[in-house]
Amino acid sequence: MTTRLTCPSCRAEIPTGAAFCPACGTASPTVITGERATAPPAGGPPVVPTLERLARALGPKYDVKRLVGRGGFAEVYELWDKDLDRRLACKVLHPEIAWTPGMLARFRQEAKALARLQHPAILPIHFTGDGEGLVYYVMPFVEGESLADALRGRGPYPVPEALGIAESVLHALAHAHAQGLVHRDIKPDNVMVEVKSGRALLLDFGIAKLLDPGAGEGGAKTGTGFTVGTVQYMSPEQALGQPTLDGRSDLYAFGALLYQMVTGTPPYDGESSAEIVGKHLADPVPVASDVNAKIPRWLSTVIVKCLAKKPEDRFQSADAVLAAIDAGRASGSTREVGAKTLERQVRRSGAMRRSSVLGWWVAGALAVVLLGGWLARRGGYLGSGVAYLRNALIEPVEILRNGMPTDTVGPEATVRVWIGRSGGAQLRWRLVRPGNPPIGEPLEGSLPAVQRVRGRRLAIVTADAGGQPYFAPLITNTSPSDITLEVNPGTAAAVRCNCLVPKGAARTHIGYYRLYGNSGVAAYNSAHPYFGPHVDRQGFAARVAPSSGVVVLTF
């Protein structure tokens, strides 16, 4: 008979094998199986230090030099291979892990699969072994530091350096995924940056699967006293214990790693594993460029797509992420051009000469003219290739270039855009809908016509797409209950907003909707949403603000 697990906090049912409750994120209760782990008999000899036990397990061909590091599930020792005169590293899995015979057999089987990986960005496993109560694997010794240590010591990486490391990791993942192998524990601790070459190496490929007692075919999930994976980087499907993970789970963890590289912190953090997992499952995906303004918008978009909650909404392969990074680079420079850069350009042009005072005056005047012209073009006063785009809506909009988001414009904000000779034909804008999941109707349009406003070339995004006006109801709820809303009720354009406005809420945003002469908004008691309208508001089309589409409604 199968026992149904329930969450100790919220009493929701926990799916078989889930590490955390899908409702509140609380860690799953431990499940005990009938398989027994080998353990030393009670009252046996005193515990021997791991270094001595490892030396006996490896035999006389290897000298165990020293302990060089300790992690969450293993210790790392430096070895000397006497036969081949080379340094090696040996990772010894913590003896506290209760290794069953089935786990040991699968460990050896998976190690054979991992041996197929031959890639310059993957640190290979030379061989595995067990003895003296230890389970271990041996790999090359690399002089370097983990990405985790580097981030702790120096903080976030500049975008070009972060992308260099990210691309190495992606190439490694593409190679492994093509072999049908999933890492399952992508995190900064498992990326090594070599001191001499600066190259990034991916470590411990597949070790999370080797440690997972339920990862084998037909194996039941069992409690082992530890969680497979690291919660700050764990995909929702891995946290929920789904039996089959694919490369898209690695891409989620990669997105969390890249987010930390450019911002300095993981995308989700908290005081407990349950809190962090709950954020992975339910919180909106953070935008890296909102944390660090130096991050280009296209890179934030790549990270957001990697961190999509559902695997089908992410990039479907590591190669697709690499292609998105290449496209983002090609969309424009990530560096700002300032006065010093302009001065260097003037110097290189030969305009500034030290040979005469006149040369300095000419060069200075030229620099002023160039700088003034550059500022005028940047301000949208000169030339036809530059304009400013103002967002008149009450929600942010994304600017799309050839379908790729390049920038985000907040409500009532203005940004500079390069429209080039095409006059902005390749540019579009798209509404960023509120809520998670988003509410309201999608709203997107081409670049509005550029007009001169006080000498500046300006394009204004308004609540109109292709001649179809839209409106944005701002809801104030003075009723005694929470309400849910339907926009344009009783018409072919009727839309349930899939939202709840609590009692006492003021000017709540519920998104944008198509506006007609007979448009209306109906409010329903949230406890009985299908028993008829609580109140209806119609005939307000004339009160809708023409640019922003805003109309304030009180229920």
DSSP string, 454-490: TTEEEEEE-SEETTEEEEEEEEE--SSS-EEEEESTT
- The Cβ of residue 55 has, within 10 Å, a number of other Cβ atoms equal to 17
Instruction: Using the predicted structure, report yes or no on whether residue 237 has a pLDDT greater than 70.
Output: yes
Pairing of strands 464-465, 468-476: antiparallel
End-to-end CA distance of the chain: 53
Per-residue pLDDT, 372: 53
How large is the average pLDDT for residues 207-230?
A: 46
- pLDDT confidence band for 9 (50 / 70 / 90): low
What is each CA distance from 297 to 161, 263, 289, 315, in whole angstroms? 17, 13, 6, 17
In CATH, 468-554 is 2.60.40: yes
Task: Write down the catalytic residue from 83, 149, 185, 283.
Answer: 185
Instruction: Using the predicted structure, report yes or no on whether residue 302 has a pLDDT greater than 80.
Output: yes
Per-residue pLDDT, 217: 39
DSSP-H helix ranges across 228-317: 236-239, 247-263, 273-282, 288-291, 297-306
Query: Could you tell me if 89 and 142 are in contact, meaning their C-beta atoms sit under 8 angstroms apart?
Result: yes
Instruction: Using the predicted structure, report yes or no on whether residue 29 has a pLDDT greater than 90.
Output: no
pLDDT digits (tens, 9 = 90+) for 94-127: 766 555 666 666 666 666 767 777 888 888 788 8
Residues 6+ apart with CB under 8 A from 357: none
Mean pLDDT of the chain: 76
DSSP run (H or E) holding 106: helix 101-114
Instruction: Using the predicted structure, report yes or no on whether residue 238 has a pLDDT greater than 60.
Output: yes
**185 classed as catalytic:** yes
In the chain, where the domains are located? 339-378, 386-461, 468-554
Partners of 469 in the beta sheet?
464
Residues 6+ apart with CB under 8 A from 366: 346, 351
- pLDDT confidence band for 164 (50 / 70 / 90): very high
Quick check: pTM over 0.85? no
Compute the distance between CA of residue 457 and CA of residue 527 in angstroms, rounded to an integer.
Answer: 51
Compute the distance between CA of residue 289 and CA of residue 226 in angstroms, rounded to an integer.
Answer: 34
Per-residue pLDDT, 216: 45
**Residue 154: Cβ-neighbour burial (10 angstroms; 0-12, 13-18, 19+):** exposed
How large is the average pLDDT for residues 373-402?
A: 70
How large is the average pLDDT for residues 360-388?
A: 54
Widest pairwise Cα distance in the chain: 96
Q: Which residue has the higher pLDDT, 7 or 175?
A: 175
Query: Could you tell me if 165 and 198 are in contact, meaning their C-beta atoms sit under 8 angstroms apart?
Result: no
How large is the average pLDDT for residues 460-470?
A: 92
- Three-state SS for 341? helix
